[in-house]
Amino acid sequence: MPTSSTSATGWPGWPGWPGWLGRWEVRVAALLGVVVLLGLAAVRAAPDDGHVIGIWPVGVATGVLVLAPRRHAPALLGVVLALALLTLSFSARPAGVVAGYTATIGLETWLVSRVLLGGAEGPWRLRADRDLRRYLGACLLGGLVGLVGGALTSAVTGFGDPGFVGLALGASHLASQLVLTPLWARLPTHGPLARRPERVLQWVAVLVLAPAVLAPAMFPSVVFVLVPLLAWSALRVSPRQALAQLVVVLGVAIAMTTAGRGPFADVPVLLDLPRDVRSVLLAAYAATCALIVVPLLLRVGESVEAARAAAAERDTLGRIVQSATGMAIIGADRQGRITLFNPGAERLLGWSAREAAGLSTQVLHTAEQVSAKAHELEVDDDFASVSARMLEPDMAGADMGFVRKDGTERTHSMTLGRITDQAGRVLGYVSTSEDVTDRVAAEEALRDALARMQEVDAVKDAFVSSVSHELRTPITSIQGYLELLGDGSFGDLSAQQRSAVAKVAANSERLLVLIDDLLTLSRVQESGLGLEDKVLDLVAVVRAGCAVVSPGGERAGVPIGVEVPDVPVPFLGDRDMLERVVINLVGNAVKFTPRGGRVEVALRCHEQGSTITVADTGIGIPLAEQDRLFSRFFRSSLAQAQAIPGSGLGLSIAHSVVTQHGGTLRAESEPGAGTTFVVELPSMV
């Protein structure tokens, strides 16, 4: 049911009004007419010998200011004051009393309307507990203004007892506000919960019982028989119908009292009380009925809205659960009996939802699976202990064995959680899981393959180390005999023979360097380099390393420039290994730089330590290959394409040496633009 409509003026309409009353001006004009009619009726109902008037429609006057735009409120308040003065003038009351009552009505109307609107435009909202509190506060404020205004008017004019006049006027104004101001509010939007026959029965009961109950004079307590009837209406019909029935009942009560019939008219006579007491009794009855009906219809509205939201959320959740065909979602009650088994669970576990309903979740796991998980989690070997451990947050996504209906065992990645209410009481459990059997099998196969590769790698390394040791001795012997041949110990050699011996010696030297690299690499893999740390001078290390490579660089047409500090640079490390780093880096730079290029070596100091830079103008390294630059036996595609000899071990050894000294080794290179290697060594401090 819509809560509002928009008129041509842009002012929100009021639900339930006919279309021709859509404009606020028309509605306000209608309410002003109602103020006149009900005001005159209230004046007529007041006894001539009394000191107060009947229940003047101050709640309708409040509606005039609530439904009109705020900018028109002052003018309309003036109209309300004029109408109040007009209607009260027909009463047999002194002019001062009429003026005092009129001022009280004006002040009360203004204050109550402002509190209800809370600074916003009308109509005001009455749908939640905070709105109910505002409604009750505004009505109590109105009753208080009526009480104080009536008492002051009586005291100033000397008309009646100030205490009684204040009580009577305050009670009637409170009742008027409580009954009538909800009519100008945006109420809960739910329709009637009762079917048409029940609603017809309610209206018949109201129209029949109200006159029957409010007519007798001797049984005043029987009027409260109507209270359960009004509560029934508030619980079962729409909010507007419930308020309409409330207005009908109170209208009958006012009419009977005005006609001098019913308990509210006769009780003062029977008990010899002032006739003004009947207005107090009538107002108290009206307030009682309103305080029962309005909170009830709000509570029903909140319940209906909560039920709608819960149904929408349940529907959304149900669609999500039903659409999750790749995941098993299983719900269980507090005893572990299955209450939810989604299509994903049916597909993965082979049970239908109907077959699984009511079964214990324990049927989804074999005793062996539970025992294995208990051993893994180090808990007692029983289903309850394993389930309790799986409920803990750190176990989300843990692997758990499941068994299908056909007996096939599978592995699921499972998350188990509790379902609790707002008080924290456990209502049940829900698990989500997906079949990861294939993934687990693949991971196990990968681990096995990795273990076998590590075994093969260890055998290979052991073989390389063994072969290298075995080769070193004969190569050394070969070099010794080559030296004897070269110096003529076995006779003079011809020029051709000397050339052949020189080539064999050079290749033997290369082979011996390769064997030395392999042995160093083997030491790195097995137990580290076994560095002998001593205080050394990095300047001397750089100069010595460059001196080893310089002759070869000069022969290759690649000069080596060296830039080092004039003072020693102390460092704690292994001199031989650090010299080897310099030799490897500078030797590589010379090897991969064409004739005419240049290699620059620099040593610089800074607060964090020392930096050795080796830059060349050589062929460079492709960007895609640079992340494998320090891997064993790696040689770039450019080096292979140009058939540049090398074992691919020098950079790997240099990287290991630098790392074990607490430093870093990195490379910056572009194909055709040369390469720069940077060694960062920490400070001694």
3-state per-residue secondary structure call for 79-135: HHHHHHHHHHCCCCCCHHHHHHHHHHHHHHHHHHHHHHHCCCCCCEECCCHHHHHHH
Per the CB < 8 A criterion, the answer to whether 166 and 154 are in contact is yes
- Residue 426, pLDDT > 70, answer yes
pLDDT tens, residue by residue, 16-56: 444 444 577 888 888 999 999 988 888 877 766 666 777 88
Dihedral sign for Cα atoms in the order 513, 515, 520, 521 = positive
Q: Which amino acid is at 537?
A: D
Summarize the confidence of residues 575-590 as an average pLDDT: 85
Per the CB < 8 A criterion, the answer to whether 278 and 257 are in contact is yes
Which pair of structure tokens corresponds to residue 522?
Answer: 């083997």
Name the more confident of 57 and 260.
Answer: 57
Per the CB < 8 A criterion, the answer to whether 60 and 87 are in contact is no
Name the more confident of 257 and 14.
Answer: 257
Summarize the confidence of residues 358-363 as an average pLDDT: 93
Which pair of structure tokens corresponds to residue 140?
Answer: 């109590």
Which pair of structure tokens corresponds to residue 144?
Answer: 């208080």
Dihedral sign for Cα atoms in the order 597, 603, 608, 609 = positive
Please state, as a whole number, how many other Cβ atoms lie within 10 Å of the Cβ of residue 500.
Answer: 13
Asked whether the bond before 94 is cis by omega within 30 degrees of 0, the reply is: no
The reported pLDDT for the residue numbered 270 is: 61
Q: Which amino acid is at 650?
A: G
- Residue 384, pLDDT > 70, answer yes
Q: Which amino acid is at 63?
A: G
pLDDT tens, residue by residue, 78-92: 999 999 999 888 887
Which pair of structure tokens corresponds to residue 309?
Answer: 């939201």
Which pair of structure tokens corresponds to residue 257?
Answer: 């009292």
Q: With the CA atoms of 541, 547, 550 and 551 taken in that order, what torsion angle do they form, in degrees rounded to the nearest 10?
A: -150
Which pair of structure tokens corresponds to residue 668?
Answer: 């910056």
Ranges 490-499, 590-599, 603-612, 633-642: which has the least confidence = 633-642
Per the CB < 8 A criterion, the answer to whether 217 and 262 are in contact is yes
Is the pTM higher than 0.75? The answer reads no
Helix (H, G, I), strand (E, B) or coil at 77: helix
Name the more confident of 365 and 637.
Answer: 365
From the list 152, 148, 153, 156, the residue with the least C-alpha distance to 108 is 148
Please list the residues that pair with 561 across neighbouring strands: 600
Name the more confident of 278 and 114.
Answer: 114
The reported pLDDT for the residue numbered 468 is: 55
Q: Which amino acid is at 517?
A: D
- Residue 579, pLDDT > 60, answer yes
Helix (H, G, I), strand (E, B) or coil at 423: coil
Which pair of structure tokens corresponds to residue 214?
Answer: 């409010």
Per the CB < 8 A criterion, the answer to whether 585 and 602 are in contact is no
The reported pLDDT for the residue numbered 272 is: 62
Residue tagged 């310099």 (tokens) = 582
pLDDT tens, residue by residue, 641-676: 554 555 567 777 788 888 888 898 888 888 878 888
- Residue 142, pLDDT > 90, answer yes
- Of the chain, the percentage scoring pLDDT greater than 90 comes to 33
* Exposure string for 392-413, b = 16+ CB within 10 A, e = fewer: eeeeeebebbbbeeeeeebbbb
The reported pLDDT for the residue numbered 9 is: 34
Q: Which amino acid is at 337?
A: R
Please list the residues that pair with 534 across neighbouring strands: 573
Helix (H, G, I), strand (E, B) or coil at 318: helix
Summarize the confidence of residues 480-498 as an average pLDDT: 74
Summarize the confidence of residues 673-682 as an average pLDDT: 88
CA 127 to chain centre: 28
- Residue 464, pLDDT > 90, answer no
Q: Which amino acid is at 433?
A: S
The reported pLDDT for the residue numbered 454 is: 73
Dihedral sign for Cα atoms in the order 178, 183, 189, 191 = positive
Determine the length of the chain: 685
H or E element: which one contains 31?
Answer: helix 24-45
Residue tagged 């509002």 (tokens) = 4
In angstroms, the CA 139 to CA 145 distance is: 10
Q: What is the 3-state secondary structure (H, E, C) of 495-509?
A: HHHHHHHHHHHHHHH
The reported pLDDT for the residue numbered 17 is: 44
- Residue 556, pLDDT > 80, answer no
Kindly give the pairing relationship between strand 570-573 and strand 338-341.
unpaired
- Residue 163, pLDDT > 70, answer yes
* End-to-end Cα, the chain, rounded Å: 81
Summarize the confidence of residues 467-488 as an average pLDDT: 68
Q: What is the 3-state secondary structure (H, E, C) of 370-406?
A: HHHHHHHHCCCCCHHHHHHHHCCHHHCCEEEEEECCC
Summarize the confidence of residues 120-135 as an average pLDDT: 88
From the list 650, 669, 526, the residue with the least C-alpha distance to 591 is 650
* Exposure string for 228-255, b = 16+ CB within 10 A, e = fewer: ebbbbbbbbbbbbbbbbbbbebbebbbb
In angstroms, the CA 117 to CA 63 distance is: 11
Confidence class of residue 306 from pLDDT cuts 50, 70 and 90?
A: confident
pLDDT tens, residue by residue, 214-249: 877 655 667 888 889 999 999 999 999 999 999 999
Summarize the confidence of residues 3-11 as an average pLDDT: 37
In angstroms, the CA 172 to CA 290 distance is: 13
In angstroms, the CA 462 to CA 633 distance is: 16
Q: With the CA atoms of 667, 670, 675 and 678 taken in that order, what torsion angle do they form, in degrees rounded to the nearest 10?
A: -30
Please list the residues that pair with 409 across neighbouring strands: 403
Confidence class of residue 11 from pLDDT cuts 50, 70 and 90?
A: very low
The reported pLDDT for the residue numbered 512 is: 67
- Residue 191, pLDDT > 90, answer no
Helix (H, G, I), strand (E, B) or coil at 455: helix
For residue 296, CA distances in Å to 129, 382, 643 come to 11, 52, 95
In angstroms, the CA 117 to CA 138 distance is: 10
- Residue 550, pLDDT > 90, answer no
Helix (H, G, I), strand (E, B) or coil at 217: coil
The reported pLDDT for the residue numbered 341 is: 93
Confidence class of residue 473 from pLDDT cuts 50, 70 and 90?
A: low
Per the CB < 8 A criterion, the answer to whether 263 and 216 are in contact is yes
- Residue 7, pLDDT > 60, answer no
- Residue 538, pLDDT > 60, answer yes
The reported pLDDT for the residue numbered 309 is: 82
pLDDT tens, residue by residue, 603-621: 998 888 899 999 988 888 7
What DSSP line would sit under 161-175, residue for residue? Answer: -HHHHHHHHHHHHHH
